[in-house]
């Protein structure tokens, strides 16, 4: 069988997006052209590579195998580009970084900014994913660096400390919870909530509510943690946000902070990669930077 590099890039993009349409856009192909390439790949290989459903597509077992090998090829290409960076002035490198909601909003902007400013020919493709999805993406080569919580198995991957994230409940200052220091999530599932419009954290909270035997009564969803705090201050409902955001918002909003006492609400985030020799130099340098910033802050503390 013969697949060209465009075929492999397309297939990886489709698997990552869970959609042929979005995958085609990611590699700059029209939907008819992408569909034709995927059909040709299945015909050439003699096996079904994608399961097509109402909510998108997912790889079959054969498709998972192809994605693994396609990612290896793409990673080798990235390594080659990285090694040529020093010899090809102006060549741009893209590092694929995945992280959960809290890491993206609370920690990464400040840590990425100085490194990207010092490396003007390197771009970062940042995607929001849950930790379990990030581990899978790293293992199959769909990402070079991940920020993950300590709740998932990471066999074969390298972990280094990144940050500690504590989730808190924000409540109106006159709410009965306002006088408490901590609360279990199961004890507030029956309350009205303000949620995030999308994201890994919101998916996690919805799942935790089901485990607790309820379903979150979400009155409205907003795009930011600050939006949650502002609506909470006006009495719309409770919210669950990182402690750093809540403390910042409390300076100019009438809200109370209550620590979530559940074990899963205190999360150790780690920088996660393949072994050092298996990632491109630019990705290795960024991973080292993200880890070193954490060490510097701990030393300063």
Instruction: Report yes or no on 168 lying in a domain.
Output: yes
Measure the CA–CA gap between 152 and 115, rounded to whole angstroms. Answer: 28
Asked if 92 and 23 sit in the same domain, the reply is: no
* Whole-prediction pTM: 0.60
**For the domain that residue 62 is a member of, what is the CATH number?**
1.10.10.10
CA distances from 293 to 14, 150, 250, 267 (A): 34, 19, 26, 18
Helix (H, G, I), strand (E, B), or coil: what is residue 26?
Answer: helix
Asked if 16 and 96 sit in the same domain, the reply is: no
Instruction: Report yes or no on 96 lying in a domain.
Output: yes
pLDDT digits (tens, 9 = 90+) for 176-196: 999 899 999 999 999 999 999
Report pLDDT for 84.
Answer: 64
Asked if 34 and 95 sit in the same domain, the reply is: no
Asked if 50 and 153 sit in the same domain, the reply is: no
Asked if 104 and 20 sit in the same domain, the reply is: no
Confidence tier at 87 by pLDDT (50, 70, 90): low
pLDDT for residue 298 is more than 50: no
Asked if 34 and 112 sit in the same domain, the reply is: no
Instruction: Report yes or no on 160 lying in a domain.
Output: yes
Asked if 11 and 120 sit in the same domain, the reply is: no
Report pLDDT for 250.
Answer: 93
Q: Return the DSSP state at 278.
A: G
Asked if 157 and 261 sit in the same domain, the reply is: yes
Asked if 147 and 261 sit in the same domain, the reply is: yes
Stretch (H or E) spanning 113: helix 108-118
pLDDT digits (tens, 9 = 90+) for 7-24: 888 989 999 889 999 989
Instruction: Report yes or no on 76 lying in a domain.
Output: no
Nearest partner of 147 among 90, 93, 105, 184, judged by Cα: 105
pLDDT digits (tens, 9 = 90+) for 33-44: 999 999 998 898
Instruction: Report yes or no on 78 lying in a domain.
Output: no
Work out the percent of the chain whose per-residue pLDDT is above 90. Answer: 42
Asked if 94 and 29 sit in the same domain, the reply is: no
Into how many domains does the chain fold? 2
Higher pLDDT pick, 275 / 114:
114
Q: Are strands 266-273 and 255-260 parallel, antiparallel or unpaired?
A: unpaired
Asked if 59 and 177 sit in the same domain, the reply is: no
Structural domain including 17 reads 1-67
pLDDT digits (tens, 9 = 90+) for 116-144: 999 988 899 999 888 888 888 888 888 99
Instruction: Report yes or no on 75 lying in a domain.
Output: no
The mean pLDDT of the chain is 86
**For the domain that residue 138 is a member of, what is the CATH number?**
3.40.190.290
Asked if 125 and 41 sit in the same domain, the reply is: no
Report pLDDT for 90.
Answer: 53
Instruction: Report yes or no on 287 lying in a domain.
Output: yes
């Amino acid at each position: 069988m013969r697949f060209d590099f465009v075929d492999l890039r397309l297939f990886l993009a489709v698997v990552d997006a869970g959609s042929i349409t979005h995958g085609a856009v990611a590699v700059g192909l029209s939907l008819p052209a992408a569909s034709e390439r995927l059909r040709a790949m299945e015909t050439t290989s003699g096996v079904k590579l994608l399961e097509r459903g109402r909510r998108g597509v997912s790889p079959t077992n054969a498709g998972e195998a192809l994605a693994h090998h396609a990612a290896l090829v793409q990673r080798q290409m990235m390594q080659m580009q990285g090694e040529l960076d020093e010899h090809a002035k102006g060549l741009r490198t893209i590092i694929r970084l995945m992280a959960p909601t809290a890491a993206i909003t609370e920690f990464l902007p400040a840590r990425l900014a100085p490194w990207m400013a010092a490396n003007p020919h390197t771009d970062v493709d940042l995607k929001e994913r849950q930790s379990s999805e990030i581990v899978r993406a790293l293992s199959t080569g769909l990402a070079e660096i991940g920020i993950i919580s300590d709740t998932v198995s990471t066999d074969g991957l390298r972990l280094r400390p990144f940050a500690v994230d504590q989730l808190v409940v924000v409540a109106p200052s006159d709410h009965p919870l306002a006088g408490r220091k901590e609360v279990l999530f199961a004890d507030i599932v029956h309350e009205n909530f303000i949620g995030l419009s999308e994201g890994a954290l919101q998916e996690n909270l919805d799942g935790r509510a089901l485990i607790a035997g309820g379903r979150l009564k979400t009155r409205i969803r907003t795009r930011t943690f600050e939006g949650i705090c502002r609506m909470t201050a006006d009495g719309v409902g409770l919210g669950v946000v990182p402690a750093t955001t809540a403390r910042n918002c409390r300076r100019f909003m009438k809200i109370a902070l209550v620590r979530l006492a559940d074990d899963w609400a205190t999360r150790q985030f780690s920088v996660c990669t393949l072994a050092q020799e298996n990632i491109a130099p630019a990705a290795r340098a960024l991973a080292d930077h993200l880890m070193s910033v954490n060490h510097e802050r701990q030393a300063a503390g």
